[in-house]
């Protein structure tokens, strides 16, 4: 739910989604958006699209800012973030 205290990333995502689809995004849309941006971020940090290099960059993710919150990858390669 958007409000005046929402981070700018969330406001931008909602505006772009509403413009593109003329509807409200659901949680899966936001999670997919974050997953895609996380992949782009890892490719940029890896400096290549080589699978092993991207996988290493994904595993090293720290303090990634997404529309569903900030997170880092844990030792099992799972995103660690707060529930709220």
46-76 pLDDT, tens digit each: 999 999 999 999 999 999 999 998 999 999 9
What lies within 8 Å, CB to CB, of 8 at 6+ separation is none
* DSSP-derived 3-state class of residue 16: helix
The answer to whether the CB of 60 falls within 8 A of the CB of 67 is no
- Bridge partners (DSSP) listed for residue 79: 73
Domain boundaries, the chain: 8-80
What CATH class has 8-80?
Answer: alpha beta
Predicted structure pTM score: 0.85
DSSP states of 21-65: HSS---HHHHHHHHHHHHHHHHHHHHTS--HHHHHHHHHT--SEE
Residue 84 predicted with pLDDT over 70: no
Q: How far is the C-alpha of 57 from the C-alpha of 65, rounded, in Å? A: 15
């Amino acid at each position: 739910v958007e409000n005046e205290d929402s981070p700018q990333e969330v406001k931008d995502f909602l505006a772009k989604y509403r413009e593109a689809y003329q509807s409200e995004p659901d949680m899966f849309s936001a999670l997919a958006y974050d997953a895609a941006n996380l992949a782009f971020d890892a490719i940029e940090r890896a400096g290549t699209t080589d699978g092993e290099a991207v996988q290493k960059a994904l595993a090293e993710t720290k303090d990634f800012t997404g529309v569903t919150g900030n997170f880092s990858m844990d030792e099992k390669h799972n995103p660690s973030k707060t529930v709220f």
